[in-house]
Amino acid sequence: MKINFDPFVLPFFIGVLLMFGILIWKYVVWLEAMPVKDRRTMFKNMFTFRSFKAFNEAVMECLLHRRIFKINPVLGFMHASLATGWFLLIIFGTIESKFGHNNVFNMPWDPIFFNFFEPDKHGMQYGKFFTFIMDFLLLVVLTAVCFALIKRFCSRLFGMRKTTKLLIGDKFALYSLWLIFPARLLAESFNAAQHHNGGFLTQSVGNVISSLVPASQIATVEYSMWWFYSIVLGIFMVALPFSRYMHIITEVFLVMFRNFGMKSTKELKGYTRFEINSCSRCGICIDKCQLSSAANIHNIQPTYYIQSVRYNLPFEDRAYNCLMCGRCNTYCPVKIDITNMRNITRKIANESVSFKYDYLPEYKPELNAEEFNVLYFAGCMSHLTPSIPKAMINIFEKAKITYEFLDEDGSLCCGRPLMQSGLVEAATQLQKKMTELIMSKKSMVLVTSCPICYKTFKDDYKLKKHVLHHSELIKLLIDENRINLKKENIQFSYHDPCELGRGCGEYENSREVLKSLGHLQKIEQEKEKALCCGGSLSNLKIPYEKRELMAADAVKYLDEKNPDVIVTACPLCKKTMEKHANGKMKDLAEVVSEALNNSPEYAKEKEQLVSN
Ligand code: SF4
Ligand code: SF4
Ligand code: SF4
C-alpha cells in the first residue's frame, strides 16, 4: 500500500487534529452542563421526523444562508458561495481522491493536496470532470472572498452602514481564511504549469506563470506554494475555535437542538452556550438596531455583546445599554434569543443585591367581593398618560361592562422593570404579592392597557384568569356588537409596540379595530420589523437626548404617508413619540372612545339624559 506523505502536509494535519480536539472538548463540556430535562428532550426527539427538519434547516441556513439572502441578497450570495463552495470542494475533493488513489485507505490530507501527489489526474477515470468541477468551485469561493474583502473596506456597497469590529483571534482567522483560497489557486496553478493538468482556471493561471517564471524554477516555487497553502490552512484550523468561525460547526448543533425542541435557558450554559458560539458576527444586527441607526451608539449591539459574553470581557455596559425591543432578534439569521441572554447577564450582575419585603400586606380572597365583568389594570405608564385609562373607562361604560379599577391610585406595578434591571429576587417577591391581590378578586378577565404589563401577566404570572390587552378587548366588544363604530374617512398609521408585537405576537386586533374606524395605511417598518419608540424602561444607560432621536426616527416612518392620526396601543409609546408627531399621536383606546362619544347613538342618549 502506497502512503502519500510529504512534510508540508503537517501544518494542515496538526491544525485539523487541534481543531477537532478543542471542539470535541468544548462540546462535551457544554453538553454536560445542559439541564437533564433538556438532554432528555434532545434524545426523545432525535430519532423522529424532527431530524429531517433539522437536516433541511441546516442545509438551508448553514450552507445556503437563506435568511441572510432574504435580508440582503448580496450578503447572502457572499456567505452562501463561501460556505457551499468550500463544503463542495471538500466533498468533490474526497470523491476525486477515492477515484485517483489506488489505496484502500486515503490519508486525511489526500483530498486537499491531491494534485501534488497525483499530478497525472487527466489519465484517471472522470479526471477531466473532476478538474472542471474543482476549478469551478474554487472560482465560486474566490469570488466570495473578493466580496468579503470589498465588504470589509466598503460595507456600504453591500447596503451595510457598519460591519463588526474584530478582536485579535478573529483577525488571525479572517486573514488566514482570506489567504487559503488564493494560496490554493497558486499551488494548483504552479502544478498545472509544470504538469499541464489544470482546468479552465488553474491551467489559464498556470500558462501565465509558465510565461513569467523560468521552467527550472517552477517546481521549487510550486513546492513552496504547497507549504504556504498547508500553513494558512493550519493557522485557520487552530484559530477557528477561538474566533467567530466557531459558528460554522456550532450553528449546525444549534439548529438540531432547536428542532429537537430545546430553547434558550435561564443561565449562560447548555443550549445558551451553543447560541453564544453560533453568532457569526455577520453584523446584520448593527444596522437593524436603532441605537445604531438613529442614536449613533454602535458598540452595544448583539454582535459585540455576545462577543463580550463569549470571551468573559466586561459586559455590564453592553447588557444594560439596550432597549430590549427585540428588533435584533427578528433579524438575526441564526435566531439567537439575544434579549433572553441580556436578561441572564443583568441577573448575574445583581446577584449580590438582596431586599426585604415582609412589610407588604397579605391579600386573602375576598369571599364577599362583588363580581365584575372585568378587572382593569391600567399600569403605571398609563397613569402618566391619564387620557388612556379615562378612555378605557368610557369604553367600559358605553359597552355596559362592569369593571373594577385595580390600580386606580396608581401605586401598583407588575414588576417587569425590576425583572429587566436584573433584580430577579425583588421582582419575584413583588409578583407573588400581585398574584395574591389579583386572585383575591372575582372577575375572570384581567384587562391591561400597558403591553409591558400584558406580556408580564401572560408569560411570567401563573394567573388562573384570562389576560387581555385593551386592543383585544375592544376587538371583542366590536365583534359582539357591544359597541358600534362608524367608519369615517380618516387615514391611520399604526405603530406596533415592541412588547405587544414582537413580545406577544399580537399584531392584528388593533389593525382590525382601526379598519372599522377608517383607513389603515401600510407602512414599511411594521409588525415584527416595527421600530422602537426609544422609551423602553429596559434601557438603564441611554441618555434622554438619544431616546429623543429614536422617537423622532420612529415617527418619521409612521408619518411618511401623512396620515391624519398616528395610533399606537401603549402608554409608553404614546408618551415618548407624541412630541414629535405634531398632535397626531393617539392611543387605540382614545380613538375608539372619541368615536363612541361622537356617535349619533350616544349623542341621542346624552340628549335624553339632559332633557330628563
Ligand atoms: S447576533 Fe445574529 S445578527 Fe448579530 S452578528 Fe450574531 S448572528 Fe449576526
Ligand atoms: S434589543 Fe433593540 S436596542 Fe437592544 S440591541 Fe436589539 S435592536 Fe438594539
Ligand atoms: S410594566 Fe411598566 S407600565 Fe406596566 S405596571 Fe409595570 S412598570 Fe408600570
Q: How far is CA 264 from CA 153, 251, 276, 338, 460, in A?
A: 35, 14, 10, 9, 16
Closest residue by Cα to residue 470 from 499, 450, 445:
450
* Statement: residue 356 has pLDDT above 80: no
Query: In ligand 2, which atom is closest to the CA atom of 288?
Result: 7
CA 329 – ligand 2 centroid, Å: 8
- The predicted structure's pLDDT at residue 124: 80
From 75, 78, 255, 336, give the residue whose CB has the most ligand 1 atoms within 8 Å, as the site to mutate: 336
What is the tens place of the pLDDT at every residue in 282-339? 999 999 999 999 999 999 999 999 999 999 998 888 999 999 999 999 999 999 999 9
- Cell numbers at residue 261, please? 425542541
Three-state DSSP class for residue 422: coil
Q: Please, which pLDDT band fits residue 260 given cuts at 50, 70 and 90?
A: very high
- In this structure, are residues 485 and 592 in contact, taking their beta carbons and an 8 Å threshold? yes
Average predicted confidence (pLDDT) for the chain: 93
Dihedral sign for Cα atoms in the order 24, 96, 114, 64: negative
* Statement: residue 244 has pLDDT above 70: yes
CA 457-463-465 angle, 5° bins: 100
283 lines ligand 1 (CB under 6 A): yes
Instruction: List the residue whose alpha carbon is closest to atom 4 of ligand 2.
Output: 322
Rounded CA separation 266/32 (Å):
16
* Statement: residue 112 has pLDDT above 70: yes
- In this structure, are residues 539 and 320 in contact, taking their beta carbons and an 8 Å threshold? yes
- The predicted structure's pLDDT at residue 4: 87
- The predicted structure's pLDDT at residue 370: 82
Mean pLDDT for 248-252 is 98
Instruction: List the residue whose alpha carbon is closest to atom 6 of ligand 2.
Output: 328
Instruction: List the residue whose alpha carbon is closest to atom 8 of ligand 1.
Output: 282
Q: Please, which pLDDT band fits residue 353 given cuts at 50, 70 and 90?
A: confident
Rounded CA separation 197/201 (Å):
11
* Statement: residue 609 has pLDDT above 70: no
- Which of 104-113, 301-310, 446-455, 478-487 is predicted with the least confidence, judged by mean pLDDT? 104-113
Query: In ligand 3, which atom is closest to the CA atom of 448?
Result: 4
What is the tens place of the pLDDT at every residue in 498-512? 999 999 999 999 999
From 71, 284, 301, give the residue whose CB has the most ligand 2 atoms within 8 Å, as the site to mutate: 301
Rounded CA separation 184/274 (Å):
32
Ligand 3: lining residues by beta carbon, under 6 Å:
379-381, 413-414, 416-417, 450, 452-453, 537
Rounded CA separation 498/326 (Å):
7
Query: In ligand 1, which atom is closest to the CA atom of 284?
Result: 3
Rounded CA separation 205/120 (Å):
18
What is the tens place of the pLDDT at every residue in 267-286? 999 999 999 999 999 999 99
CA 294 – ligand 1 centroid, Å: 19
Query: In ligand 2, which atom is closest to the CA atom of 329?
Result: 6
- In this structure, are residues 577 and 559 in contact, taking their beta carbons and an 8 Å threshold? no
Ligand 2: lining residues by beta carbon, under 6 Å:
289, 291, 301-302, 322-328, 339, 532
Query: In ligand 3, which atom is closest to the CA atom of 417?
Result: 7
Mean pLDDT for 488-495 is 97
CA 187 – ligand 3 centroid, Å: 65
- The predicted structure's pLDDT at residue 502: 97
CA 306 – ligand 1 centroid, Å: 9
Q: Please, which pLDDT band fits residue 610 given cuts at 50, 70 and 90?
A: low
Rounded CA separation 87/109 (Å):
15
- In this structure, are residues 403 and 372 in contact, taking their beta carbons and an 8 Å threshold? yes
- The predicted structure's pLDDT at residue 612: 64
- The predicted structure's pLDDT at residue 499: 96
The pTM of the full predicted model, rounded to 2 decimals, is 0.91
Q: Please, which pLDDT band fits residue 369 given cuts at 50, 70 and 90?
A: confident
From 324, 381, 411, give the residue whose CB has the most ligand 3 atoms within 8 Å, as the site to mutate: 381
- The predicted structure's pLDDT at residue 70: 95
C-alpha 374, offset from chain centre: 37
- The predicted structure's pLDDT at residue 82: 97
Three-state DSSP class for residue 317: helix
- The predicted structure's pLDDT at residue 606: 66
- In this structure, are residues 197 and 119 in contact, taking their beta carbons and an 8 Å threshold? yes
Mean pLDDT for 132-144 is 97
Q: Please, which pLDDT band fits residue 1 given cuts at 50, 70 and 90?
A: low
Instruction: List the residue whose alpha carbon is closest to atom 7 of ligand 2.
Output: 289
- The predicted structure's pLDDT at residue 28: 97
DSSP 261: T
Show the DSSP H helices in 337-423 as ranges: 338-349, 380-384, 387-398, 416-420
From 327, 498, 547, 550, give the residue whose CB has the most ligand 2 atoms within 8 Å, as the site to mutate: 327
Q: Please, which pLDDT band fits residue 161 given cuts at 50, 70 and 90?
A: confident
Instruction: List the residue whose alpha carbon is closest to atom 3 of ligand 1.
Output: 332
Query: In ligand 3, which atom is closest to the CA atom of 379?
Result: 5
Instruction: List the residue whose alpha carbon is closest to atom 1 of ligand 2.
Output: 324
